[in-house]
A and B are shown apart, each in its own frame.
Chain A
Amino acid sequence: MRSTAERVWLLPGVLALLLACVSVIVGPGGLSLAEATADLLAGRDTVPALVLLEIRLPRALLGLLVGAALGMAGAAMQGLLRNPLAEPGVLGVSACAALGAVIAFYSGLVRLVPAALPVAAITGGVLGTAALFVWAGRGATVATLLLVGVAINALAGAATAFSLALSPNPYAFYEVMFWLMGSLADRSLDHVLLALPCVIAGAILLFRMRGRLDALSLGEETALALGVAPASVARWVGLGTAMAVGGAVAVSGVIGFVGLIAPHAVRPFVGYRPGATLIASAGAGAVLTLIADIAVRLLPTERELQLGVMTAMVGAPFLGWLALHRRQRSAPWL
């Protein structure tokens, strides 16, 4: 019973891979890709090969990875809460993950155990998600959820700035920018390796929940009648979201609004099915993140713009547009 139309969720993924290739090409200029690739394949340890492998490639891979994690997490949260404004960035889950990462990093723990960085970020994400679900409740109205999310976001952001101010390192305080308005600049393959297992584990958890998210589309009572326990779905989705987002935030800082825009962008093309949205949104999230990350390198700004600034400049007006259209068209899924 499969048709080509049902494969439509694969499309954003394909587009994301193409953009990742573009991302490798974009840089301060002058790198001969052919030469770099040839050197790399021949195992020659030349400067072009080094730039390609250790600077350009990690950035493109992280664009894919972080974007997919955020897109998928946004779709999962929207599906679970049946709330179109749910998103790890807006609701403070990312900020809590950043707080976890900041504490682990600036305390010096990460120097001893590098894996402490994503683990702490995931822990922060789990606590943030739990606070959100407990505080607002799963059946919360759009407004309640948003208010609670804003509170958590502000609290986590303030706690991050506070922890950074406690560090005796003079640079630490100015790095609040990175953690609250993320970036993919000058990341290395080490960062890819840190984030990859977390994002994959989170994505697998979320992917396994896709049928149960579909079952929730007629409300929690009907889901229960269909043999799906919403409370357990909430736990698994919460954990999956925290793992994917935590892994991403640990290496990129908070990149907001990707998880908000991506699901909305793909939903009409997958018949508004929450499960299919999950997969398509992962691809769309990667596409959005890569486009934004390419844009910050091409824009003629004095200094390279933070990626989180770029996504917020697009995402915040989108949030406003959503709010307006929900009211005007009384369409609860907008």
Chain B
Amino acid sequence: MAMTASGLRRVLDRRPVLHGVSIELPAHAVTGLVGPNGAGKSTLLRLLAGIDSPDDGGVLLSGKPLRTMSPMVRARHVAYLPQAARAQWPLSGRDVVSLGRMPHGAGFDRLTVADVEAIDDAMQRTGTAAFAARRVDHLSAGERARLLLARALATRADVLLVDEPTAALDPGYQIEAMAALRAEAARGVAVGVALHDLALAARWCDRLVLLAAGRLLAEGPPADVLQPDLLQQAYGVAFGFVEFGGHRLPLATGRP
């Protein structure tokens, strides 16, 4: 199930944050959202997830407007992992993941066989099975981040939107998290992920969307989007490139 957004405009606190952005999140692919701080990546993700409404434009999920869906139905189709997500109570690892089944009508004490299977699977794929019985406050920040990703995976949605999943993670876990997203895409899910790290974006994403100041600068395969002139226009610094494993990884080199 692909997701398309057209002409998304959003004004927050009388400040325009997005100026008519149109993008596509195809199924079977990881689409990376890149751009400098304040480019509008998080706002765009929230609009795509349907937890915020655009002032103009709309989001379609396989041709159906997202806003016509009830919140529960929408939540079954679109999973979203916000950046600031944080367990407010010292729940067990397994309870955190099982929250992902809530859109399917599950509760902590009401889990169907399908729910249990989805939870086990999500924990397996994020390497968090060992945390099932542990309290989240006894885990490290990286372990907690993986558990929250498992929560989003457990929903088994058609679209998975993740905001900066690697920010708190060690390099090893960053790779693990990106691999988990790729695996989701391989199952047919349309994955959208906001990333700060351009090298990570170049290596792990099928497509990239480059945003700057609330506008779409480029959209397409990483090799097409990560061009020196586009990057300099977006970030205001010059970029060089290093070749690694068949990818051209951008590196900021300094002010032009």
Contact = CB atoms under 8 A, between A and B. Distances in A.
B71 A227 contact: yes
Nearest to A225: B80
B111 interface: yes
Contact of A225 (B75, B95, B108): B75
Given A214-B102, A271-B92, 12 more contacts: A2-B109, A211-B107, A217-B91, A218-B99, A218-B148, A224-B71, A225-B75, A225-B80, A226-B75, A272-B135, A274-B89, A333-B90
Interface in B70-117: 70-76, 78-82, 84-92, 95-96, 99-100, 102-103, 107-111, 116
Given A225-B51, A225-B80, A226-B99, A6 B90 contact: no
A331 interface: yes
Nearest to B78: A225
Contacts of A228: 71, 102
A218 B96 contact: yes
A82 interface: yes
Interface of A: 1-2, 6, 82, 210-211, 214-219, 221-222, 224-229, 267, 271-276, 331-333
B49 interface: yes
Main secondary structure of the interface of B (DSSP, over half): mixed
Contacts of A267: 89
B74 A227 contact: yes
Contacts of A219: 82, 84-86, 88
A228 B73 CA distance: 11
A229 B116 contact: no
Interface string B167-210: 00000000000000000000000000000000000000000000
Between A224, A227, A229, A274, the greatest number of chain B beta carbons within 10 A of the residue's beta carbon is seen for A227
B107 A214 contact: yes
A218 B137 CA distance: 13
Contacts of A274: 89
B111 to A, nearest CB: 5
B151 interface: yes
Nearest to B102: A226
Contacts of B148: 218
A217 B103 contact: no
Contacts of B96: 218
Contacts of A2: 109
Contacts of B84: 219, 221
A224 B87 CA distance: 15
A225 B88 contact: no
A271 B91 CA distance: 6
A226 B80 CA distance: 8
Interface of B: 49, 51, 70-76, 78-82, 84-92, 95-96, 99-100, 102-103, 107-111, 116, 135, 137, 148, 151
B145 to A, nearest CB: 12
B236 to A, nearest CB: 30
Nearest to B71: A227
A184 B87 CA distance: 39
20 contacts: A1-B111, A82-B88, A214-B102, A215-B102, A217-B91, A218-B85, A218-B99, A219-B85, A219-B86, A222-B85, A224-B71, A225-B75, A225-B80, A226-B75, A227-B73, A227-B76, A228-B102, A274-B89, A331-B137, A333-B88
A189 B84 CA distance: 51
Nearest to B46: A221
A6 B92 CA distance: 14
A211 to B, nearest CB: 5
A267 B76 CA distance: 29
Nearest to B83: A221
**4 tightest A-B contacts by CB?**
A227-B75, A224-B51, A221-B82, A225-B80
Contacts of B111: 1
A272 B75 contact: no
B106 to A, nearest CB: 9
A221 B85 contact: yes
A15 B92 CA distance: 27
A265 to B, nearest CB: 15
Contacts of A218: 85-88, 96, 99, 148, 151
B99 A273 contact: no
Contacts of A272: 89-91, 135
A214 to B, nearest CB: 6
Nearest to B86: A219
B108 to A, nearest CB: 5
Contact of A1 (B73, B76, B116): B116
A300 to B, nearest CB: 42
A229 B103 CA distance: 12
A217 B89 contact: yes
Between A1, A211, A225, A274, the greatest number of chain B beta carbons within 10 A of the residue's beta carbon is seen for A225
B82 A222 contact: yes
Contacts of B85: 218-219, 221-222
Contacts of A214: 99, 102, 107-108
Contacts of A211: 102, 107
B99 A222 contact: yes
A220 B23 CA distance: 26
Contact of B109 (A224, A225, A229, A276): A276
B99 A217 contact: yes
Nearest to A221: B82
B19 to A, nearest CB: 24
B104 to A, nearest CB: 10
A199 B102 CA distance: 28
